[in-house]
């Protein structure tokens, strides 16, 4: 069967992602000698990014840019964090004489001023030190052959990345390498005992492939290691800009097998991206798998109550309220207060529904057509 180019592109962007990965740290002494080298690494990292779905609709972005505003950069998930690991500063460099190491580095683009900043803080100090400040790259000329939304996605996506790294002395590289070798040797010597005493490690290297069936549909197949036993979900989207992910397949049982295939008959297969999610990982214990939080609801998988209104994300989704908005109906009361008072969160204070605020045993109705109502002493 002939490979679908669109499908392969989609997979190369998002199809091989399995949310809930285990971090692996490898000591790789990367030595630099100047701030400009660090900026070059930052820009190279930006180039490697896939097109990132925007948390703000591009229609809104366009409207704000037309008014010479950039309120969209204040959105809490606008910034994309990228941890680059550890770099080692050459002891012979001029920069080594100017910095107190180790140092925590941050590089980012300030859209408002049109500059790229590289800053750092030394251990034990709150003082922010500017290592480099350069003009941001110009936006590429707009090609009318592509949509304005696609143009903005490619131009603004890399500019959302906040790059972080640790900078140490060159001498520390060898000490870090020795520690890593010692830890590796200890782990290998203890491996048989650890295998007998501990639960199996969480395996996350799930692979997806797409092939054309020749009849206008595609066959999507998921592969996993033989020791992977968690349930899988597959998500799909036709638009990376809006990131409107939907569940394509769910409750995939991986026990006793190594692959699962199905034919996607969705009508829009000219552009279709897929991602795999582990249904049995729920880091914050809110009842929603981490992968669903990332792809479907855009909530924080490490925080049970993303919007901080006192109601966890799982309860909000079950109740039909917005886990990203503390006051879903805009009536001035946090969802947590309304939930505790057993009032209708969606009522918006209208339709004769009583929404009340406690005040010394008396409760004041926020709807204008209702008078004070006594509900008993607390």
Span 180-200, average pLDDT? 51
Please, which pLDDT band fits residue 133 given cuts at 50, 70 and 90?
very high
Tokens of 49: 């990014």
Domain-wise residue ranges, the chain: 24-175, 207-304, 307-378
Specify the range with the lowest mean pLDDT, choosing from 44-58, 87-101, 216-230, 329-343.
Answer: 329-343
Whether the CB-CB separation of 50 and 16 falls below 8 Å is answered with: no
pLDDT in tens, 43-62: 999 988 777 777 888 888 88
Percent of the chain with pLDDT over 70: 70
Taking the C-alpha atoms of residue 36 and residue 295, their distance in angstroms, rounded to an integer, is 36
SS (H, E, C) the chain: CCCCHHHHHHHHHHHCCEECCCCCCCCCCCEECCHHHHHHHHHHHHHCCCCCCCCCCHHHHHHHHHCCCCHHHHCCCCCEEEEEEEEEECCCCCHHHCCCCCEEEEEEEECCCCEEEEEEEECCCCCCEEEEEEECCCCCCCCCCCCHHHHHHHHHCHHHEEEEEEEEEHHHHHHHHHHHHHHHHHHHHHHHHHHHHCCCCCCCCCEEEEEECCCCCEEEEEECCCCCCCCEEEEEECCCCCCCCEEEEEEECCCCCCEEEEEECCCCCCCCEEEEEECCCCCCCCCCCHHHHHHHHCCCCCCCCCCCCCCCHHHHHHHCCCCCCCCCCCCCCCHHHHHHCCCCCCCCCCCCCCCEEEECCEEEECCCCCCCEECCCC
Taking the C-alpha atoms of residue 363 and residue 343, their distance in angstroms, rounded to an integer, is 12
User: Could you tell me which of 226, 230, 224, 227 has the C-alpha nearest to residue 259?
Assistant: 224
pLDDT at 356: 40
Edge-to-edge strands, sheet with 129-135: 31-32, 80-89, 161-169, 103-110, 115-122, 129-135
pLDDT in tens, 241-290: 677 888 988 998 888 778 888 888 875 566 677 888 888 889 999 999 98
Whether the CB-CB separation of 305 and 311 falls below 8 Å is answered with: yes
Whether the CB-CB separation of 19 and 294 falls below 8 Å is answered with: yes
Whether the CB-CB separation of 214 and 191 falls below 8 Å is answered with: no
pTM, full prediction: 0.46
Span 97-120, average pLDDT? 91
Per-residue pLDDT at 100 exceeds 50: yes
Whether the CB-CB separation of 169 and 101 falls below 8 Å is answered with: yes
Taking the C-alpha atoms of residue 27 and residue 86, their distance in angstroms, rounded to an integer, is 8
* DSSP β-bridge partners for residue 163: 82, 107
Please, which pLDDT band fits residue 23 given cuts at 50, 70 and 90?
very low
pLDDT at 335: 67
Question: 207-304 in CATH: which number?
Answer: 2.60.40
Per-residue pLDDT at 6 exceeds 90: no
Please, which pLDDT band fits residue 39 given cuts at 50, 70 and 90?
very high
Residues 205-234 as b/e (b if ≥16 CB within 10 A, e otherwise) read ebebbbbbeeeeebbbebbbeeebebebbb
Tokens of 19: 């949310």
pLDDT at 136: 94
Question: In this predicted model, which residue has the larger pLDDT, 366 or 143?
Answer: 143
pLDDT at 205: 65
Burial of 253 (0-12, 13-18, 19+ CB in 10 A): exposed
């Amino acid at each position: 069967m002939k490979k679908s180019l669109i499908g392969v592109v989609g997979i190369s962007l998002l199809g091989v992602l399995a949310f809930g990965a285990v971090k692996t740290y490898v000591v790789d002494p990367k030595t630099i000698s100047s701030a400009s080298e660090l900026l070059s690494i930052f820009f190279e990292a930006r180039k490697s990014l896939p097109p990132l779905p925007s948390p703000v609709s591009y229609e809104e972005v366009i409207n704000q840019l037309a008014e010479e505003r950039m309120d969209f950069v204040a959105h809490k998930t606008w910034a994309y964090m990228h941890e680059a690991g550890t770099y080692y500063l050459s002891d012979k460099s001029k920069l080594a004489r100017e910095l107190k190491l180790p140092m925590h580095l941050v590089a980012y683009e300030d859209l408002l001023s049109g500059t790229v900043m590289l800053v750092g803080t030394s251990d034990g100090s709150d003082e922010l030190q500017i290592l480099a400040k350069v003009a941001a790259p110009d936006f590429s000329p707009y090609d009318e052959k592509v949509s304005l939304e696609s143009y903005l996605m490619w131009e603004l996506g890399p500019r959302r990345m906040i790059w972080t790294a640790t900078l140490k002395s060159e001498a520390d590289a060898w000490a870090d390498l020795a520690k890593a070798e010692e830890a590796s040797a200890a782990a290998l010597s203890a491996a048989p005992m650890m295998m007998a005493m501990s639960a199996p490690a969480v395996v996350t290297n799930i692979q997806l492939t797409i092939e054309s069936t020749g009849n206008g549909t595609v066959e999507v197949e998921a592969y996993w290691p033989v020791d992977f036993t968690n349930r899988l979900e597959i998500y799909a989207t036709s638009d990376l800009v809006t990131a409107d992910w939907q569940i394509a397949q769910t409750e995939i049982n991986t026990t006793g097998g190594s692959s699962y295939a199905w034919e996607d008959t969705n009508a829009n297969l000219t552009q279709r991206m897929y991602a795999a999610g582990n249904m049995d990982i729920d880091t914050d214990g809110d009842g929603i798998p981490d992968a669903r939080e990332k792809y479907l609801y855009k909530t924080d998988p490490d925080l049970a109550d993303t919007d901080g209104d006192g109601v966890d994300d799982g309860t909000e989704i079950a109740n039909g309220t917005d886990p990203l908005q503390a006051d879903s109906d805009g009536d001035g009361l946090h969802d947590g207060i309304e939930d505790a008072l057993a009032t209708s969160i969606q009522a918006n204070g209208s339709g004769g529904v009583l929404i009340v605020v406690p005040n010394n045993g008396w409760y004041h109705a926020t709807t204008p057509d209702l008078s004070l109502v006594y509900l008993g002493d607390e």
